[in-house]
Every structure is written in C-alpha cells, then in structure tokens.
Amino acid sequence: MKIQAAIFDWAGTTVDFGCRAPVEAIREAFASFGVPLSSGEARAHMGLPKIEHIRATCADAAVAARWAAKHGARPTEAEVAQIYASFLPRQFAAIEKYSRVIPGVAPLVAHLRARGVRIGSTTGYTREMLDVVMKRAACEGYAPEASVTPEEAGMGRPAPLMCYLNAVRLRVYPLRACVKIGDTVSDIEEGRNAGMWTIGIAVTGNEVGLSEEEWHVLEEGERARRAEAARRRLFDAGADFVADSVGECEAVLDEIEQRLALGS
C-alpha cells in the first residue's frame, strides 16, 4: 500500500513561518481590552478554531486572573464574543503581513504529487480567512487540491472531521494510508483522532514561534535547544514523526511508505 494523501495545516506549516499572524491578532485583541498576553499565552491553544482559541485563552488561570483584576470578574461568554469581534479585523490585517509560503513547501508538494499522493489541508482559520491565505499561497506556487475549515466540517481540531472531509473530497482511503502534517499539539491530536500517520513540524511553526530571520540569527546552541524543545512537545502530543520543516519531510514519508508496505 502507498501513501494516499497528505493533509497539511496552514499557518506555521505551509505558510507564515513562525505562525505569527494569529499570535499578533490575538495579542492585539486582548490588549485592546487592557489585558496584554505574553507570546506563550497567545500560542498555548494554537491550532484550535479561532473562537475556541480565544475561549481557551480566557480560561487559562493567569489570563483569567488578569482579566478579573481589570474587569472585576473572569471573562464571560459575552466577553469572549467581544474579544473575537475585536480579533477578526486584526486577523485579516495580520494575514496580509504574514502569509508567505514557507521555503521548501512547494518542492516537497510537487514531489508528492509526482508520486501520486493527493494534497489536502485543514486549519483553525475560517473560510473567509483561509480564502485570503490560499490566494496568496497559490501565487507563490502552493495550492492543495482540497481545503476544509472547522465550520465546513462541523467541528475543528482536535476532532478529526476536517480530515475525514478531505478524504471524501479527495476520494482517498484508507485513512491509515493518509498523513496529517502540522505544527501544533492540536494538529497531532486531529491526525491521531482521524487514524492517520502524524508528522509534527517543529522549527517553522508555533512551538519555536520565530520568523525566518529571527531563527537564522539565533546562536547555534540556542537554535538546537529550541528545536529540541519543540520536537519534544510534538512527540509528547503523540506525533509518529517530527521534522524541522515540511521541506524536510521526504525521508519521513519514505519511511511511512515502507511501513505501510510491511503492513505495520
């Protein structure tokens, strides 16, 4: 049996090195309510549908405590909706700034297509957001055959429904011959829940959280330390494999194909 499909995440995996667009938008939205977030707080729930990302951030103890100090009580569901409303235009503005295709993605995808692997995608973005991202990515040579957003599948990550809908649209089976590739814990949970192989993306994604320029100027020991911490977190989430970037996935995909051939 051969790999039937590769289902890629978007921000931090195929576009937006460092997964910076959602972080900037969420931090600005919370700051507009007088509750600044650290980068780590803004990244803790990355990969979920954006409204759920905001809701989960509001439920974090330190954030809820700072919100209560400012507003008199923990954030309510009505306030979650207000933060989301503030977040939306900021997210569209950030997408305009941070949606470049990550180096190595287009060649790896071309290689997969040549091998007969179908290309799908899932996201925490809404369809309106993803349409903007996809248009820009296509101009830079990356255009998956299928894309599914949380509202289209009825549930976002960590549920597997976006992966299932990709399989339906690509007409591929079985799911155990498909691979989910993404940069967050929730990406790995989504792929595992779908019964797919999972590859975590460590360096270009949310777990390192640096721009390409910031990454390259880091001292070598610090780069190694941060990459290892990101790999550890993705393996701890249950990833079958971890690669530093999508462009470095070829050897892993070969190994998955060998293991499928052996029936493991």
Binding site for Mg ion (CB under 5 A): 9, 11-12, 183
Residue 210 has φ and ψ, to the nearest 5°, of -120, 150
Is residue 180 part of the annotated active site? The answer reads no
Position closest to Mg ion via CB: 12
| Annotated catalytic residue within 2, 16, 50, 70 | 50
Q: How far apart are CA 35 and CA 95, in angstroms?
A: 23
Q: How far apart are CA 40 and CA 55, in angstroms?
A: 16
Smallest separation, CB 187 to Mg ion (Å):
6
Q: Token pair of 14, please?
A: 């195929």
**In the complex with Mg ion, which residue's Cβ is closer, 35 or 196?**
196
Closest CA to 52 of 132, 156, 123, 128: 156
Closest CA to 151 of 172, 176, 126: 126
Smallest separation, CB 201 to Mg ion (Å):
8
Smallest separation, CB 163 to Mg ion (Å):
14
**In the complex with Mg ion, which residue's Cβ is closer, 75 or 209?**
209
Q: Token pair of 172, please?
A: 């591929």
Is residue 2 part of the annotated active site? The answer reads no
**In the complex with Mg ion, which residue's Cβ is closer, 9 or 257?**
9
| Most distant CA atoms of the chain, gap in Å | 60
| Continuous H helices in the chain | 21-31, 39-43, 50-59, 61-71, 77-97, 105-114, 127-139, 150-153, 161-170, 185-194, 212-217, 220-236, 250-261
**In the complex with Mg ion, which residue's Cβ is closer, 7 or 11?**
11
Smallest separation, CB 217 to Mg ion (Å):
23
**In the complex with Mg ion, which residue's Cβ is closer, 75 or 204?**
204
Smallest separation, CB 95 to Mg ion (Å):
13
Please give, one letter per residue, the 3-state secondary structure of 135-177.
HHHHHCCCCCCCCECHHHHCCCCCCCHHHHHHHHHHCCCCHHH
* Residue numbers annotated as active site: 9, 50
